[in-house]
Amino acid sequence: MTKINKIKICHICDRITGKADGVFTHLISLLKNLDETKFEQIVIFQGGEIIENELKRIGINYFVVPELKKRFSIIGFIEIYKILKAESVDIIHAHLIKPYIISGLLNIYLKKILIFNYNGLFISSIYHNSIERFILNCLHFLIVYSRSVQIAIVPSQHSKILLTSETKIFPRIEVYYNGFSSKDYNDLNIELEKELMEIKSKYFVVGIVARIEIQKRIDISLNLLKRLAAKNPNVFFVYFGDGPLEEEMKLLAQRLSVNRNCKFYGYVKDAPIYFNYFDAILFTSDWEGFPLTIWESMASGLPIISTDVGGIKEIIEKEKCGVTCPKGDIYSAAKNIEYLIKKPEVLKEMGNNGKVAIKTKYSIQDFKFFFENLYTNIRNGVKSQ
């Protein structure tokens, strides 16, 4: 029997939490769904108990580099170089900007295949000051013109537009869509379910499922709630997610006098199990790639109200399963929610449209097919040059 030489892929990530974390969810989809007889996958990341436990559970070999938590670290460069060299990987898959810059510079010498996975942010982000942007742009130029990176991949057509508006020098950019796979959830919290059931019996419930950090603009959602509750006291916002701004947002809810119309539950494992207690789901982010909670909402039959960021509009307006508004536009968001409150038949139709689209167009099999072909073709293409 002929032995199949597996393609070995190393994913490099930073800033993943293992909680309400789109990059981690995307990574897990790759790790769990690719054909194990053809692909071997390993992970380099900054460390974290939740992530490590999950990687152990699914049998993935991983390497913890704590230096990835730092803005810059020579020690981190050296550690990652040693791992990539020792593991003899075929493909480096860099998720987010820091892993891209590190692996891009190392790959000038390693001569592996490098894929950059864009997730809504590149160099011109609020996380970088003007000096850092200048340095990162210089390094990006060096990486591209050293032929250290072969391709950038993006989670929507709109994401491609955003990335090319910032840089036009990637040799190739290809679009993929995250697929959805239904799964059995087994961490039902009976007390939480009872509480949500009680809320649902009295209110129009809007869910917000997100890390509570600057990107997600939870402050916008609270100001939106203040505007809504003035006319519609039967509106209630449920927040699933934790993060560095959680306590600050709770205090803001009190200052805005909307704390009676909302509750912060912190991180909730297997959040979609409770989506049947929501009437709609809300996204107020300033930027996104394509949040996987969108797929979960569609699969649950939840209409989506979202800011027009990333590839969200591209999907929910095409599939008629939600509405978008300009980011920061509280007035438009309030009008959209008020409309759905008054039009339950539209609410139901949007929910059904989302369910149908998930079943017929955005399967995990399409996601798997894209990445298996990407890895195979790019490895074979480089080898044949």
Residue-wise pLDDT for 167-186, tens only, equals: 999 999 999 988 877 776 67
Distance between CA atoms of residues 61 and 39, nearest Å:
13
Best CA proximity match to 166, nearest among 146, 141, 191, 131: 141
**pLDDT tens-digit map of 230-243:** 999 999 999 999 99
**pLDDT tens-digit map of 301-347:** 999 999 998 888 888 988 999 999 998 899 999 999 999 999 999 99
- The per-residue pLDDT for 382 is 56
Q: What is the 3-state secondary structure (H, E, C) of 194-237?
A: HHHHHHHHHCEEEEEECCCCHHHCHHHHHHHHHHHHHHCCCEEE
Do 149 and 111 form a contact (C-beta atoms < 8 A)?
no
**Domains contained in the chain, CATH given:** 7-179+363-384 (3.40.50.2000), 190-361 (3.40.50.2000)
Rounded to 5 degrees, what are φ and ψ at 382?
A: -65, -40
Distance between CA atoms of residues 239 and 211, nearest Å:
10
* H-run or E-run covering 345: helix 344-361
Distance between CA atoms of residues 84 and 91, nearest Å:
10
